[in-house]
């Protein structure tokens, strides 16, 4: 403080601190504020991605549902008119590296570019493959990737590749393997090796298979099933019975190499009972009906 009560001017370039996180820098007679504790987050990002769905948003834009190994399921906006090149690239089940612009404060994400590595063309022309891919997409969305983004992305990506490379019955068995592996990712796989009551083996060719008991999420052998159903009347869809060969196949999916399992024979009867069982099990895990199963009835 000077003798006449006046405050001396700050030295040029001097830094004075006021409010938390704000500093004032003087240059001559001008004061500039600088927010030094709040660096701007990087807004341009990229990630591996698979397009799950695309819906119209307004006149020219689209809302895109995407799954990635580091973000899980998320939504982004795609801008552009009907003739936009990006709209031809951002299509369901296309896989590649997607470039995003994200404003975290506004909770806004838009698609800047998409480097497509695989288009999976047959998933748009084969009705079964399209329905199966839609089923898997709906499961990922409703379960939020089972909380394991990387593993869910890996399973889904492998499933789409398998659908692209197979036809007919092989595509159907691929769907069975995907559903069973995804139920394991959810932590809800029942034991298919032994009876939940007496621990007898039920997945060997010499056994008679097992009956699924819903309230214990396990299987009972032929001798123990009556004790579970005593006093109750199980509907067929509530207590499906699986043959030992079907149970053996599910166990093989868990324990054998994927290439080995793909080479295993599965009869149409086994495929049918496994499909119905897994559809029931995945809806039981979700606690709701799957729209894709209803729209794909008779196809899936």
- What does DSSP say about strands 15-17 and 61-68: parallel, antiparallel, or unpaired? unpaired
Q: What number is the average pLDDT over the span 208-222?
A: 90
Q: Which of 92-101, 177-186, 220-229 has the lowest mean pLDDT?
A: 220-229
* Same domain membership, residue 118 and residue 75: yes
Flag whether 121 is in a domain. Answer: yes
Number of structural domains in the chain: 3
Mean pLDDT of 153-170: 96
157 and 57 in a single domain? The answer is yes
Would 172 be classed as within a structural domain?
no
Residues 31 and 95 both lie in one domain: no
> Which of residues 76 and 16 earns the better pLDDT score?
76
**Is position 201 within any domain?**
yes
Asked whether residue 66 falls in the same domain as residue 119, the answer is: yes
31: in domain = yes
> What phi and psi, each to the nearest 5 degrees, are found at residue 253?
-60, -35
Contacts of 236 (CB under 8 A, 6+ apart): none
Q: In Å, what is the CA distance from 256 to each residue of 243, 250, 287?
A: 19, 10, 30
Residue 12 has pLDDT above 60, yes or no: no
31 in the same domain as 70: no
Confidence at residue 136, expressed as pLDDT on a 0 to 100 scale: 98
Q: Is residue 243 part of a domain?
A: yes
Q: Per residue in 227-277, pLDDT tens?
A: 876 545 554 445 688 999 999 999 999 999 999 999 998 999 999 999 999
Q: Are residues 53 and 142 in the same domain?
A: yes
pTM of the model as a whole: 0.82
Taking the C-alpha atoms of residue 267 and residue 237, their distance in angstroms, rounded to an integer, is 21
Please check whether residues 48 and 158 belong to one and the same domain: yes
User: Does 132 fall in a domain?
Assistant: yes
Looking at the domain assignment, is residue 27 inside a domain? yes
9 and 73 housed in the same domain = no
Contact 225, 209 (CB under 8 A): no
Flag whether 218 is in a domain: yes
- Report d(CA 15, CA 34) in Å as an integer: 10
Mean pLDDT of all residues in 271-286: 95
DSSP SS3 for 222? coil
Laid out side by side, the sheet with 210-213 consists of 218-220, 210-213, 241-242
Q: Chain-wide mean pLDDT for the chain?
A: 85
Strand partners, 68: 72
| pLDDT recorded at residue 104 | 79
Are 176 and 157 a contacting pair, CB within 8 Å? Answer: no
What are the beta bridge partners of residue 23? 17, 34
Q: What is the CATH number of the domain that holds 98?
A: 2.40.50.140
What pLDDT score does 89 carry? 93
C-alpha distances out from residue 121 to 13, 92, 214, Å: 63, 10, 39
Burial classification of residue 156, based on how many CB atoms lie within 10 Å of its CB (0-12 exposed, 13-18 middle, 19 or more buried)? buried
Q: Which domain holds residue 58?
A: 44-146+153-162
Predicted confidence (pLDDT) at residue 14 exceeds the cutoff of 60: no
For the stretch 170-212, pLDDT in tens is 999 999 999 999 999 999 999 999 999 899 899 876 678 899 9
């Amino acid at each position: 403080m000077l003798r006449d009560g006046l405050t001396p001017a700050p030295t040029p370039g001097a830094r004075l601190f006021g409010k938390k996180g704000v500093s004032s820098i003087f240059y001559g007679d001008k004061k500039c504020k600088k927010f030094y504790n709040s660096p701007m987050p990087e807004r341009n990002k990229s990630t591996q991605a698979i397009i799950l769905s695309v819906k119209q948003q307004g006149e020219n834009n689209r809302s895109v549902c995407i799954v990635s190994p580091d973000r899980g399921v998320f939504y982004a906006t795609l801008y552009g008119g009907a003739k936009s090149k990006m709209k031809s690239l951002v299509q369901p089940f296309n896989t590649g590296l997607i470039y995003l612009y994200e404003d975290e404060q506004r909770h806004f994400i838009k698609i800047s570019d998409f480097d497509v590595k695989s288009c999976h063309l047959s998933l748009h022309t084969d009705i079964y493959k399209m329905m199966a891919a839609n089923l898997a997409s709906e499961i990922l969305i409703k379960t939020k990737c089972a909380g394991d983004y990387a593993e869910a992305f890996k399973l889904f990506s492998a499933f789409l590749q398998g659908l692209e490379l197979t036809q007919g019955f092989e595509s159907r068995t691929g769907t069975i393997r995907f559903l069973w592996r995804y139920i394991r990712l959810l932590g809800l796989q029942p034991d298919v090796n032994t009876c939940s009551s007496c621990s007898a083996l039920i997945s060997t060719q010499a056994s008679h298979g097992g009956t699924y008991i819903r309230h214990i999420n396990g299987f009972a052998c032929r001798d123990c099933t009556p004790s579970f159903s005593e006093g109750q009347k199980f509907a067929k869809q509530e207590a499906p019975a699986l043959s030992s060969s079907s149970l053996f196949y599910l166990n093989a999916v868990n324990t054998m190499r994927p290439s080995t399992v793909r080479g295993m024979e599965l009869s149409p009867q086994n495929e049918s009972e496994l499909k119905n069982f897994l559809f029931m099990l995945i809806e039981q895990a979700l606690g709701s009906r799957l729209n894709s199963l209803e729209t794909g009835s008779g196809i899936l």
